[in-house]
Amino acid sequence: MKKNFLFDLDGTLLPMDLPKFIELYLTAFCKRFSQDLGLEPKTLKSGIWAGAGAMAENDGRCLNRELFWEAMSSVCGRDMLVYEEIFDDFYRTDFAAAKASAWVNPCAAKCIELLKNSGSRIILATNPIFPISATCTRLKWAGLESGDFSHITVYDNSTFSKPNLGYYREICEKCGISPENSIMVGNDVDEDMCAAEQGFDVFLVTDCLINRNKKDISDIKNGSLEDFYELIKNNK
């Protein structure tokens, strides 16, 4: 069995309806901040999307966090970084409105527990476009805790985003691991399975499959999260 296990979060350990999640998230975000900050919901949403786009294009020159707030400030016409603390509070509180888009798969906790007991290293390789507050909240929705992972990729410790292969190289460098001893487990054909190009073993979770370009996945190990659990249980 591999020594290092990298797991995506949204759609993998945390099954979700992604379009519904985005809708509920942005609605709750605007409800919380539009009046308080004196900004139109349309402007706030545009700022979020601009920030996400800037992080997606990061080439390693700086932290994703820096690009997010730079883009957000540009769209909103003011320095938005001063609101970072209250944004974090949102992710710990009102962000709960988006929980209705997700549900618990008990197999997620089973996988993590099995791997912890086997001494494997477990890394949360979620796209680092959120702060740790938002990621910890989503982990709780999945029935997991941040302490279950030796490393979590978030916007203030990452200088790339998926599917840039620099994202996977950066994890290897920060965690001192090699792709040859590692497996990436995720539900997104483009963003997660590209880790194979960096030398990772991969497993495609099909419960909430994202395959934007309708790629042939017949040559990729794939199945439900329950299938993956059985795979590691039988190979421990």
Q: Any idea how long the chain is?
A: 236
Q: How far apart, in whole angstroms, are the C-alpha atoms of residue 192 and residue 120?
A: 20
Q: How far apart, in whole angstroms, are the C-alpha atoms of residue 236 and residue 16?
A: 29
Structural Rg of the chain based on CA atoms: 18
Q: Quick check: 68 and 51 in contact, CB under 8 A?
A: yes
**pLDDT tens by residue, 86-128:** 999 999 999 999 999 999 999 999 999 999 999 999 999 999 9
Q: Quick check: 177 and 171 in contact, CB under 8 A?
A: yes
Encoded tokens for 193 = 């399975």
154 HSE (CA, 13 A, CB side): 16
196 HSE (CA, 13 A, CB side): 16
Query: What Å distances lie between residue 218 and 61, 74, 140, 156, CA to CA?
Result: 36, 44, 33, 36
Encoded tokens for 173 = 């460098």
Query: What Å distances lie between residue 21 and 4, 29, 183, 225, CA to CA?
Result: 29, 12, 27, 20
For residue 2, what pLDDT is reported? Answer: 86
For residue 44, what pLDDT is reported? Answer: 98
Encoded tokens for 25 = 């998230």
H-helix segments, 119-187: 132-141, 165-175
pLDDT < 50 regions, the chain? none
**pLDDT tens by residue, 211-226:** 999 999 999 999 999 9
> Whose CA is closest to 184, among 196, 176, 171?
196
Q: How far apart, in whole angstroms, are the C-alpha atoms of residue 187 and residue 169?
A: 20
Which residues 6+ apart lie within 8 Å of 141 measured at CB? 14, 99, 102, 104
For residue 125, what pLDDT is reported? Answer: 98
For residue 150, what pLDDT is reported? Answer: 98
Q: How far apart, in whole angstroms, are the C-alpha atoms of residue 202 and residue 204?
A: 7
18 HSE (CA, 13 A, CB side): 12
For residue 235, what pLDDT is reported? Answer: 86
